[in-house]
Structure 1
């Protein structure tokens, strides 16, 4: 049923590129901390090599992924087949956060369409790729992307988004400082 690989194979890449949604999982080192599982939509993920992926992270109500990646680097991506043959594919790696306005941001942004509300890019070096059956995952039909986040970001504007990020995205729910929080502390 499940198989373990050290890199993304061509058939994994083809599967990932067909998915319209994926999930990102991270966790703090503390046993008391909260495991975070975050769904991602839009065309924001890029496979850079068989062992490196990146995604454009959009402004949201929390920023747990950044806090956890800053603390320990661990990150997991999960893709599930909601149409066609069943499959679950996970990518395991060590992540890092690239903030808006940095030299690295300017290096990475040509890889992406920059959506309103883009706040950071998460890059992950992979050490494992695992497939599993997905036999119990139900079928769902894609009906389209929601424009709600894009509209919200446009309405807030860049100054408003900056204030929002500083207020809501600087510290995780467990009290860990995010990359945005670290940058704000330096200013």
Structure 2
């Protein structure tokens, strides 16, 4: 049975820290709904009502574009190992880009990565847990190194070129704000 909470407690914070993958979900007024898997060491609980994650360079920048238009987001964690549980965080988020004043404040919470594109800081409106009985058991092997290896190989200039080609607008043509001042 699903249960709702106003904030994260210690048990749920520990659960988040144990997970190797999470999913973000956003949507603009029109167009596609985006659900994006995230991994690596990229998620932080800031307090019981706020979380942040480092968004690395990828083929799209949908979350940033969607949040500019409709500021709502869901983050979901599933237990693929151990006791079953699904945890959803509902709320709004701020997109922080490299050129923003708060970049260093939050970027310093994460391992350095040449491909760091944005940071999302989410204010939690509500927290939901559910059973997770239908989620399969899976064994974690390791993080893939393909993305950090690629961004290290192409360097800062190559990453910026990639952003200019692939990350200025969403797949539905919405601006992402990646280079806005």
Q: TM-score band (shorter)?
A: over 0.9
Partner of 1:66: 64
1:96-107 alignment, distance < 5 Å? 96-107=94-105
Partner of 1:163: 161
Answer yes or no: is 1:88 the counterpart of 2:86.
yes
How far off its partner does 1:42 sit? 0.4
Partner of 1:22: 22
Partner of 1:149: 147
Instruction: Give the secondary structure class of the aligned counterpart of 2:108.
Output: helix
| Runs ≥4 residues deviating over 2 A | none
More helix by share: 1
- For 2:55, which of 51, 54, 57 is the aligned residue? 57
How far off its partner does 1:93 sit? 0.8
User: For structure 1, which segment, 98-107 or 74-83, has the greater mean C-alpha deviation from structure 2 after superposition?
Assistant: 98-107
Partner of 1:140: 138
How far off its partner does 1:103 sit? 1.6
How far off its partner does 1:63 sit? 0.3
Give aligned pairs, total.
181
Instruction: Give the secondary structure class of the aligned counterpart of 1:177.
Output: coil
TM-score by length of 1: 0.94
Partner of 2:39: 41
RMSD of the TM alignment (CA)?
Answer: 1.0
Instruction: Give the secondary structure class of the aligned counterpart of 2:103.
Output: helix
Partner of 1:178: 176
How far off its partner does 1:111 sit? 1.3
Distance 2:76 2:168 in 1: 25
Distance 1:58 1:102 in 2: 16
Distance 2:110 2:71 in 1: 23
How far off its partner does 1:101 sit? 3.2
Distance 2:88 2:143 in 1: 23
Instruction: Give the secondary structure class of the aligned counterpart of 1:36.
Output: strand
Distance 2:141 2:45 in 1: 25
Distance 1:166 1:74 in 2: 26
User: For structure 1, which segment, 53-62 or 93-102, has the greater mean C-alpha deviation from structure 2 after superposition?
Assistant: 93-102
User: For structure 1, which segment, 47-56 or 112-121, has the greater mean C-alpha deviation from structure 2 after superposition?
Assistant: 112-121
